């Protein structure tokens, strides 16, 4: 399950859970201290919400003017404005460190995953050049290629990146030196070309979007026709009579492929319901120019799509199999391993989505800008 700040805060009421765990760990803590801690918990989840550094930044400075109200508005805008998540900056230096470390965590291991999965046969070409510039010797690369064991190189890279961050950062900015930063982002770009571009196959594009549309509409029908939006609102407000109907609703779907979705809907809180209403309210008028869809239908669709976003790839594939949205032949094909397809087969079958093309192009462009400006004061 993928739980972002919105789900954790508004559906799972994570602040309450954290305070309860603190009380269990320290029974002597005062209510005053608990309230003080609770007031600052949003800063943790602000770091999570604003950790997405997709471009080639080599430094991050916290937005120290941000308030809890600003943070709540940023969560909302992440769900109503495409690309907004890439524009926000954490409120704390710790959040900036999280944003930098996100890149340090995934870039070396994207390469390793590509090698282990057979998308790349060995470290060569741009990858070899970049690794050597980052201090990995040709002997180490050849040894890793011969043994097919690459994790040691990934760890070495992470140490190199972290060392630069430690040396160049201060209490006011999280920074990596521009040479190391540029090489790290060049490695990411090489991963994009050699690995990430090949992870979406044409068959995925042929099958998954259609299956997704069918599922979203089926789940929206359940919300509107079987549960009822007004009933869901009543339930989310913790109304006692509505709570008594939960078991009746669940009983109708027990043992069926839709049971998990209905269970998810039964966990809807007042905060989640109102959040989704506001998302649809902000986007309804603009998007309704091209198609005549009612506010209520869009709200039902919103609940359906947010559920699907919590499923990982294996859970989604299992669901469309259970619902009969793929043939037996398609199912077998979707279960293929990258190694079974082979690199040549991946190249022939690969499909690059338009949105990904834009992101990859922007990443390449932003990488070339690193090092163009003169380095300013990097003293601690």
Confidence of residue 379 (pLDDT cuts 50, 70, 90): very low
Q: Report the candidate in 158, 212, 207 with the shortest Cα–Cα distance to residue 180.
A: 158
Q: Is the pLDDT of residue 210 over 70?
A: yes
Is the pLDDT assigned to residue 378 strictly greater than 60?
A: no
Mean pLDDT of 196-224: 92
- The arithmetic mean of pLDDT across residues 140-165, rounded, is 96
Position 10 pLDDT exceeds 60: yes
| pLDDT greater than 90 at residue 203 | no
Higher confidence at residue 291 or residue 21?
A: 21
As a whole number, mean pLDDT of residues 25-49 equals: 95
- Helical (H) or strand (E) element with 89: none
- CA-CA distance, 299 to 153, in Å (whole number)? 48
The whole-chain average pLDDT of the chain stands at 90
Handedness of CA 353, 355, 357, 359 (dihedral sign): negative
What pLDDT does residue 217 have? 97
Burial of 101 per CB tally in 10 Å (0-12, 13-18, 19+): middle
Does residue 208 register a pLDDT over 60? yes
Whole-number Å distance between alpha carbons of 46 and 69:
11
- Structure confidence at residue 380 (pLDDT): 29
Instruction: Determine the pLDDT at residue 291.
Output: 63
Q: Go through 268-294 and write b for each residue having 16 or more CB atoms within 10 A of its CB, e for each that does not.
A: bbeebbebbeebbeeeeeeeeeeeeee
pLDDT of residue 374: 42
pLDDT at 1 over 50: no
């Amino acid at each position: 399950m993928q739980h972002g700040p919105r789900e954790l805060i508004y559906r799972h009421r994570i602040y309450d859970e954290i305070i309860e765990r603190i009380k269990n760990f320290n029974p002597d803590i005062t209510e005053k201290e608990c309230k003080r801690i609770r007031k600052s918990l949003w800063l943790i989840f602000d770091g999570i919400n604003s950790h997405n550094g997709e471009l080639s930044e080599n430094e991050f400075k916290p937005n120290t003017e941000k308030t809890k109200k600003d943070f709540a508005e940023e969560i909302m805008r992440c769900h109503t404005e495409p690309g907004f998540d890439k524009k926000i900056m954490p409120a704390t230096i710790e959040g900036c460190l999280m944003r930098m470390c996100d890149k340090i965590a995934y870039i070396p291991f994207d390469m390793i995953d590509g090698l282990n999965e057979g998308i790349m046969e060995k470290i060569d070409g741009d990858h070899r050049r970049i690794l050597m510039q980052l201090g990995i010797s040709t002997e180490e690369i050849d040894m890793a290629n011969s043994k097919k064991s690459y994790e040691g190189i990934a760890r070495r890279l992470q140490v190199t990146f972290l060392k630069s961050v430690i040396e160049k950062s201060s209490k006011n900015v999280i920074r990596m030196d521009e040479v190391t930063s540029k090489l790290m982002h060049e490695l990411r770009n090489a991963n994009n070309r050699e690995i990430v571009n090949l992870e979406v196959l044409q068959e995925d594009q042929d099958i998954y979007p259609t299956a997704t549309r069918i599922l979203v509409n089926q789940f929206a029908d359940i919300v509107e026709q079987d549960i009822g939006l007004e009933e869901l609102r009543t339930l989310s407000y913790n109304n006692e009579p509505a709570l008594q109907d939960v078991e009746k609703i669940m009983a109708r779907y027990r043992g069926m492929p839709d049971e998990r979705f209905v269970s998810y809907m039964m966990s809807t809180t007042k905060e989640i319901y109102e959040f989704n209403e506001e998302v649809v309210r902000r986007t309804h008028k603009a998007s309704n120019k091209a198609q005549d869809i009612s506010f209520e239908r869009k709200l039902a669709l919103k609940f359906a799509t947010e559920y699907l976003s919590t499923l990982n790839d294996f859970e989604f594939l299992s669901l469309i199999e259970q619902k009969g949205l793929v043939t037996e032949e398609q199912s077998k094909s979707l279960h293929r391993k990258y190694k079974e397809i082979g690199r040549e087969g991946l190249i022939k079958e690969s499909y690059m989505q338009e949105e990904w093309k834009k992101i990859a192009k922007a990443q390449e462009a932003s990488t070339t800008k690193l090092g163009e400006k003169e380095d300013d004061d990097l003293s601690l």
